[in-house]
Every structure is written in C-alpha cells, then in structure tokens.
Amino acid sequence: MGRKEAYWQDLQRIRALRYMDDEFMTLCLADDHEAVSLILGIVLGEEVRVRSVRVQEPVKNLYGRSAVLDVHAADVTGREFDVEIQRCDAGAGAKRARYNSSLLDMHMLRAGETAEALPDSYVIFITEHDVMRGDRAFYPVERYMSVGEERVLFGDGSHILYVNGAYRGEDAIGRLMHDFCCTDPDEMHYEALARKARHFKEDEKGVTDMSRIWDEVREEGVLNGMEKAITELLEDLGQVPPRVMELIEAQDDPAVLSRWHKLAARANSIEEFERNMNAS
C-alpha cells in the first residue's frame, strides 16, 4: 500500500471517531485545560478551573492491580478528577468506580499529612448507554449513614458520578453528550471541543500525527497484551510480588516478554519463575 493510499484510509477512519471513543477523547484532551474545564463544569454544574490534565495515566498499586486513568485532572482548589469513557456497560461497574476512587485517594496524600488533608475526589464515568437505566442525564453516587430512620450524607469528600451518553435533553449536558457522540466538528455545540477534533480530522498535520500515534498505540497494545498474559499466568500461582510486577511492566522488548511468557507457563511457583527470569 502506498503512502498516499494509507493516508486516505487513516483519514476515513479518523473522520468516524468521536469523543466517546476513549483513544480519540484522550488525545484531544491532552493538556487541554479549557476543554476539560468545560466538561467538568457542565457535569458538576459549577465553574471549574483546571490546573493540570494527564491522559492515560498509569496509577500504580504495589499491593494489587494497577489502573490507567483516561483523564486525570486537578483544579485550582486541589480537587482531583478521574474521567472515564466507557462504551461497554461492563466496564462501568460499581466495584470499578470504588477501586478508581480508592486509587485517587491513595496518591493524593503526601508523607506526614493526615487523612483530614485529603481534598475532594471525583470519579466520573461517561457511558455510551444509560447503564443505570433511569432515563436521567446523570446519576450522582454518595455515601450515606443511617441515623435512626434518617439517612445522612457521610460527607467524606469522595464522589462518583455516572453521565448518560445517550441523553439528548435541551440543556448543557444534553448538548455536551451530543458533541461526545458527534463525528463532525462543524455540528458540535462547544467550540472548545470542536477545535481539537477539527485539528485531528481535517488538518493534514493533525491527521499525520494521529496516524503516527495509532502506530505507537498498536505497538503499545501488543506489549500490554503480553504483560497481561504473563501476569495472569503468575496470578494462578499466587500473589505476584511488587518487584516482579515492576520488572514485567518496565520491559519493552517483545522478545524478552515472549521468553518470560513461556517461563510463566512452565513455572510451578512464582519463586521458580523469578529465578528463571533473572537467569534468562
């Protein structure tokens, strides 16, 4: 396939992308404080001034499963936000929301600070379908305590919010969800979102950058798949030590990962695998 033909094929694929496609969304929102402030402001119903945005950020958990946050943002007041795009209902379960919330909390306190110093955190799922099936624009999730017959807000500062991507009301959230599912930047309501989408869909440099990033993502996907396969084999043998996980996640040579995968498949214990991986 010639370079020109490959370019036009990529262009057609790019034109079909939406903010509801998480790879495209994270690419468009990378370092875009204006767009992320707009999204959070509409979802929360208040002004939000974002001071930092990190996309596809790995958050390590040395004692269990780590996670990759689609969009990790912080505002000028110190609040932290994890915005997750989910096209598949199964990826937006209650336990995943709880886990992502705990990961945010774990990484917000500095050494010497007490738990009372924790700022508020928000885990926001924007789902393609109405996963809660309540025919509402969004579903706030809060902790409550029972005081006799009353339910009182616990007020721990941890917030979870589900946004219904299928909602199309004549209000700000309806317009936002329209834009998230729209493929044509000229038909979007919010210029802050349309501008970056237009760059990657219509600007020659943007399309070229997008094609290059896709190549990198495909390569990264292969490595991640191999790392996951090794980890799953080891988890069948017991708890994987943090030092072993760090070595696996840091390895970027497919040949080495392939060799480790074979070792993991043959090993009778994690200790045996570790000895053999260090000797290979």
DSSP 160-196: EEEEETT---SSHHHHHHHHHT-S-GGG-S-HHHHHH
> Residue 126 — φ and ψ, nearest 5°?
-105, 110
DSSP annotation of 58: E
Q: Residue holding tokens 């390895």? A: 251
Domain ranges in the chain?
14-202, 217-279
> Is the model's pLDDT at 7 over the cut of 70?
no
Partners of 81 in beta bridges: 73, 122
What is the arithmetic mean of pLDDT over 115-136? Answer: 94
> Is the model's pLDDT at 6 over the cut of 80?
no
Convert the pLDDT of each residue in 224-253 to its tens digit.
777 888 888 888 888 888 888 888 888 877
pLDDT score, position 5: 66
